[in-house]
Structure 1
Amino acid sequence: MTNFKGLQHFPLGNAILEENGENLTVSNMSSCGDGFSVRTTDIDDWEVKITPIELGSGQAISYSLIGKDGYNRLETIGQTSVFVNEEGQTVIAVNSKLMANKIKLTGKLNGQTTFTGIYDNPSCNCDDVHDTHENWIPLVIAAAAVIVAAFDYKKETVRDGAGNIISETTTKSFGGAGSINFQDRDGNEFEADHLFMESTFQFEPAIPSKYGQNPSEIQFMFCNIDQITLTDEIY
């Protein structure tokens, strides 16, 4: 375990963590699945910044947000993957089995919103419709190479007067270095340097607080990326 920016970091697989001045280097990622995890207990808003890396053929970054409920059960709240497909395009996809029946995508450039899209979740059987065996769905594709610079998540819970949960919203985001030309799953084109992927579960009636999922850990796994450097974490 390595303390970095006040949080506990753990290696996954073959990875080695090493502090270098103000940075944390994750190296020796010799096989797919190597990476690191960060203990983010009860932190609802978290971001990591890394030395920008350009994704190339065969490379992928996948990250999962883990939550804990009132019974101390650990559950995966959300998963996102950034990867390069066989056409050389960079794809950002989400595990739709962990999302509500609507998925909201927001693109921002220099802090200004450039695009908003709301999509039906094709693998959500919340209403016993649109159920498929495919759980990784692409939200956006970039034809050119993408330089990765940051990742974050935000968890928002709305409660009633008795403390019961009315809704839970999880937003995971991806940050690039500079403007990127994207195309969403419906063919709409836009420019952005940051993408936000949001999912809201509504509970009617409200559910007891013990069934809520509080962030506990975020895990990053890499494929064909030997090393990355974390430069900051904000929470």
Structure 2
Amino acid sequence: MATPINFRGLNHYATGNATLRSEKDGMILEGFKNSFDGITIETNGAKQWELTFNPVEIKKDDVFGISYNVLDGLKRVKTVAQYAITYSPDGKYAYLAVNSRLEGDKIELVGMKDGKEVMKEVYDKPEDLDCNWIVVAILVLAAVSVVASNVDYENERTVVTHPNGTKTVTVRTKKSFGGGGVVQPVAKAAGTNPEPGKGEFPFDHLYITSERCYTEDSVEELDGNISQVIFTPKVSEQIFITDEVYTM
């Protein structure tokens, strides 16, 4: 494994063909050749985390992806969330897709602009187990290019006590990317050829939120705080990482 670079108190490793180097005001990540290339960040169980970088345009043939891993109570690595921005086969649209197998029964998508909610959709998780990657939004290229400038997550647990005295634990994971563009919801989340929904909304942040529920006895064994982020931004330009903040 490559020697880590410590930035803002966290270890960062270049993965695949990517290279990572320290600069006076941050780090430079570059050399992307395929969708495996990027950076692995040890977040050490932080409940909130955000990585900020220079704005980059996501172009045709780019694949902007991110995965979030936990260590469960038995020290097993478990991917709990994954999303990607990619293009349709004909190159006419950019899609925001999530790995639905890692989500709860409902997947919420919220678009924000200047601190205000401009769009909100809730999609059902597909019952078809053959369909894992589903498109939850169309990014409208005719209006403006898609730009990314930060990625983040927030992990929260809520304990519910039921009338019979039993307890369940709901784990709510909110992940997002910030930047800019115009988003159009889809009529129904689908693996391919999604039907456009109503309206087009300028945004500067898109949030994807879902919940998983555990019994009180099983949550510590089957779940955990996010300890690793794998950021695979296959774009044509270098990424200059300028800041990273988190809450333990």
Q: TM-score, normalised by structure 2?
A: 0.84
| Segment drifting more, 109-118 vs 180-189 | 180-189
Identify the residue that residue 182 of structure 2 maps to in structure 1: 181
Checking the alignment, whether the CA contact within 8 Å between 1:92 and 1:138 is kept in structure 2 is yes
Counterparts of 1:96 and 1:32, CA distance in 2: 19
Query: SS of 1:97's equivalent?
Result: helix
Q: Which aligned pairs between 1:29-178 and structure 2 lie closer than 5 A?
A: 29-85=32-88, 86-122=90-126, 130-144=127-141, 145-159=145-159, 166-177=169-180
Large movers: runs of 4+ above 6 Å: none
Unaligned 5+ segments in structure 2 are 188-196
The CA deviation at 1:226 is 4.9
Identify the residue that residue 232 of structure 1 maps to in structure 2: 243
Counterparts of 2:216 and 2:228, CA distance in 1: 29
Counterparts of 2:216 and 2:223, CA distance in 1: 14
Counterparts of 2:227 and 2:114, CA distance in 1: 30
Counterparts of 1:32 and 1:175, CA distance in 2: 20
Unaligned 5+ segments in structure 1 are 123-129
Checking the alignment, whether the CA contact within 8 Å between 2:58 and 2:148 is kept in structure 1 is yes
Query: Cα gap change, 1:208/1:63 in structure 2, threshold over 3 Å: closer, same or farther?
Result: closer
Query: Cα gap change, 1:39/1:170 in structure 2, threshold over 3 Å: closer, same or farther?
Result: same
| Segment drifting more, 92-101 vs 217-226 | 217-226
Identify the residue that residue 127 of structure 1 maps to in structure 2: none
| Segment drifting more, 206-215 vs 167-176 | 206-215
Checking the alignment, whether the CA contact within 8 Å between 1:31 and 1:224 is kept in structure 2 is no
Checking the alignment, whether the CA contact within 8 Å between 2:56 and 2:237 is kept in structure 1 is no
Checking the alignment, whether the CA contact within 8 Å between 2:58 and 2:64 is kept in structure 1 is no
Residues paired across the two proteins, number: 226
Of the three residues 192, 197, 217, the one matched with 2:208 is 197
Amino acid at match of 2:70: G
**CA RMSD of superposed structures (Å):** 2.1
The CA deviation at 1:222 is 3.4
Counterparts of 2:108 and 2:35, CA distance in 1: 29
